Structure 1
Amino acid sequence: MSFDRRAVVIGGIGALAAPFIVRAQGTLERKDVKLGVGGKALLYYLPLTIAERRGYFKEQGLNVEINDFGGGSQSLQALVGGSVDVVTGAYEHTIRMQARGQDIRAVTELGRFPGIVLAVRASLADKVKKPGDLKGMKIGVTAPGSSTNFFANFLLARDGVQPEDVSFIGVGGGASAVAAMRQGGIDAISHLEPVITRLELDKAISVLADTRSEEGTRAIFGGANPAAVVYLRQDFAQKNPNTTQAIVNAFYKALKWLEKATPDAVSATVPEEFYLGDKELYLEAVRKSLSMYSRSGIVSEAGMASARDMLVPFDKELKAASFDLKRTFDSTFIEKAPGIVKL
């Protein structure tokens, strides 16, 4: 497995001089692929919808069936159980699975910082000034065991609060999350766009921690912290190398499209139901999120370490485990994606 940090994207005139997309070399071992995602409408997973709606999977000869679950932990369970072949989910899941001796690896980075926000109900803002003040309260997350849950756990642990000191409630990925806060079912929320912008515009929340920007991410983690990735079982990649390459090619093309896309172009591509009933809201959420998508598709070694260090303070199993962190990301396929060159 190679980790050449000098991989760069062709830009400018050179990129225009040759067709961007080429199919994976060789015959696809499998054209039909089942993919799991936990909250497809969330901007965290936007590259998936772009690859789907702009036909990048079909360009690669793939028929991708997307299974949308309530949260990332459920997508992971589907992969382990064999009901899906590949997942778009949080990079942290690969770390936890490697620690358990299961060879699940990321093959493409989709998000270079998390885009997760921890916020408290506006009516509690005078009482809750930092994550540790949430002790004893109910915190909404996409699903227990998902990246939104991990993020909240990390912030709580920094303030000396353990996961069992709060109640985590799965609120799903869209309108149900907004409703949970509006209806008083939760005291705080750890969530993603466009849910957070909807609640901000409603003046329903007060933000405690924000990783929607590189600046905010560095303030919390001290550096890079990878977010969504494409991950799968290593034996799938070994048995289906051309299919895996085709999947990576499609996602990489989606990342390069997003690098230059405008909010209007994004909103014109996704289904209207992603808007949460308000197109202007969605456009604002996209504006806040476009910078978070990966430019290279590569998870850096510093990012791997940052993600591990986020989990260790509250994950006793991981703290005691011994494993090779580099096995969480296989760069073989992204380094062969069209548009990548080595200097």
Structure 2
Amino acid sequence: MTRPLLTRRAFGAVSALSAAGVFAPAIVRAQAEGAAALGNVTIAVGGQGVLYHLPLALADQLGYFKAEGLDVTVRDFSAGALALQAVQEGGADVCAGAFEHTIRQQVRGQSYRSLVVMGRAPQLALGVSQRSLPAYKDLADLQGRRIGVSSVGSSTQLAASVVLARAGMGPRDVAFVGVGSGMAAMNALRSGQVHALCHADPIMTLLEQKADTRIAGDMRSLKAAQEMFGGALPASCLYAPQPFLQKHAAQAQALANGIVHALKWLQTAAPADLVKAVPPGYLMGDRGLYLAAFSRVRETYSTHGMMPEDGAATSLRVLSRVHPELADFKVELARTYTNDFVRKARQKFNV
């Protein structure tokens, strides 16, 4: 794929240097030497094209990781739980996924820590197929039905469980079915494989616009998330095993720098800028739909990458609603994230 080499602002800066006739050889050499210095980092992500992971895509496509001297390889999986598994098995160094996994892994005796937060709300919605359930009226009608999630154990299942709990239903009152991400998930709903689907945008906006899906639980705005979860719920983040953060602090800092730079870019990006920055495949053949979905979730992206003050506590509280057994384990929330890398990145980019 063709990657944009320069943002509009960077183009102006480079043009000025070009006029002076001093930039080309030195900059190229410096970038090559910097990349060689930090080497390669592999990031596993569940559903690379969804808006949930947009800051990661932008940091990669706009060259922000390269600018930090880091060569990033992104491995895409159909669900966040599978991306985490890749890290556990040594197939990736870092995971892009829901913050809640750091808590779950601590309960299982593993030390994972978020190093930069990309989303401060889940950006998910639970939609019901009006083809499969034409008489659907409320959440109680989902009793005994099949609910599509990216995979069992992923954040989509947690979010769906929280929505269902508001109607007095527990996880065993429905059947959760792993359907992957993107078009596979959408086709599972449309074909009747599942009666409802919990997924991220732009898929959910597409299903809404086709008028064959009714939204039963919406977590795609800060207000909705606040009402649903009772606080700021950190969602997409970069998290890694604690040994990686200790042994490869320079790489972790470069990752945080790239994401914070992308988050800053998002604050002022125009729709046309976004369309040019993301790979064409992410647009699903409909620029208007993609931008409508982006507009719906735009406020939920972090503005600086820091963990919200109540973020980790809110995440634990939400997990405990669905998994009461967590009450028997003392979770050390301070070990599930660090803001150290983001603080340095904010100083660098004046965020």
Under a length normalisation based on structure 1, what TM-score does the superposition of the two structures give?
A: 0.88
Q: Distance in 2 between matches of 1:92 and 1:284?
A: 28
Checking the alignment, whether the CA contact within 8 Å between 1:255 and 1:293 is kept in structure 2 is: yes
| Structure 2 counterpart of 1:241, from 241, 245, 249 | 249
Give the Cα–Cα distance (whole angstroms) in 2 for the partners of residues 160 and 319 of structure 1: 20
Map 1:301-312 to 2 at 5 A: 301-312=309-320
Residue 222 (structure 2) aligned to one of 214, 225, 232: 214
The answer to whether the 8 Å contact 2:38/2:69 transfers is no
1:193-342, aligned counterparts within 5 Å?
193-339=201-347
Contact 2:306 2:339 in 1 (8 A): yes
Structure 2 runs not aligned, ≥5 long: 1-12, 14-30
Deviation at 1:317, TM superposition (A): 4.1
Q: C-alpha displacement at 1:27, in angstroms?
A: 9.9
Identify if the C-alpha distance between structure 1 residues 161 and 102 changes in structure 2 by more than 3 Å, giving closer, same or farther.
Answer: same
- Which residue matches 2:27? none
* Structure 2 match to 1:154: 162
Please tell me whether residue 84 in structure 1 is matched to residue 89 in structure 2.
Answer: no
Equivalent position of 2:58 in the other structure: 50
2:200 maps to 1:181: no
What is the letter of the counterpart of residue 207 of structure 1?
Answer: I
- Secondary structure at the aligned position of 1:265 is classed as helix
Q: CA RMSD in A?
A: 2.2
CA contact 2:129–2:190 (8 Å) conserved in 1:
no
> Secondary structure in 2 aligned to 1:190?
strand
User: Deviation string for 1:229-283 (max 9, x for gaps)?
Assistant: 1100111011111111011101110111111112221111111111222222112
Q: What is the alpha-carbon distance in structure 2 between the residues aligned to residue 35 and residue 204 of structure 1? A: 35
1:318, CA displacement in angstroms?
2.3
CA distance in 2, matches of 1:319, 1:76: 24
> Take 1:147 and 1:282, find their aligned partners in 2: how far apart are those partners?
22
How many residue pairs align between the two structures? 319
Cα shift readout 1:273-316 (whole Å, capped 9, x = no counterpart): 11222222112111112111101211123111111111112224
Letter in 2 for 1:312: S
Partner Cα separation in structure 2 for residue 261 and residue 225 of structure 1: 24
Match of 2:199 in 1: 191
Contact 1:108 1:248 in 2 (8 A): yes
Relative to structure 1, is the Cα distance of residues 307 and 28 closer, same or farther in structure 2, using a 3 angstrom cutoff?
farther
After alignment, is 197-206 or 166-175 more displaced?
166-175
Moved >6 Å (runs of 4+): 26-29
CA distance in 2, matches of 1:317, 1:76: 22
Counterpart of 1:113 in 2: which secondary structure? coil
Q: Secondary structure at the match of 1:299?
A: coil
1:340 and 1:306 map into 2 onto residues whose CA distance is 29
Question: How far apart, CA to CA, are the structure 2 residues paired with 1:29 and 1:237?
Answer: 17
1:8 corresponds in structure 2 to none
Q: Is the contact made by 2:206 and 2:289 (CA closer than 8 Å) also made in structure 1?
A: yes
Q: 1:163 aligns with which of 151, 167, 171?
A: 171
* Residue in 2 that maps onto 1:112: 120
Residue aligning to 1:127: 136
Q: TM-score normalized by structure 2? A: 0.86
Which moved further from structure 2: 69-78 or 166-175?
A: 166-175
**Amino acid in the other structure paired with 1:119:** G
Specify which structure has the higher proportion of helix: 2
Aligned to 2:72: 64
Residue-by-residue CA offset, 1:26-67 (whole Å, 9 max, x unaligned):
998741111100000000000111011100111011111110
Residue in 2 aligned with 1:13?
none
* Percent identical residues: 39
Of stretches 109-118 and 148-157 in structure 1, the one that deviates more from structure 2 is: 148-157
Q: What is the CA–CA distance in structure 2 between the aligned matches of 1:340 and 1:271, rounded to whole Å?
A: 27
Aligned equivalents of 1:176, 1:262: Cα separation in 2: 30
Q: Quick one: distance in 2 between partners of 1:230 and 1:168?
A: 26
Distance 1:328 1:29, change over 3 A: farther
Contact 2:148 2:196 in 1 (8 A): yes
Unaligned 5+ runs, structure 1: 1-15, 17-22
Is the 1:264–1:283 contact (alpha carbons within 8 Å) kept by the matching residues of 2? Answer: no
Higher relative CO (CA 8 A, sep ≥ 6), structure 1 or 2?
A: 1
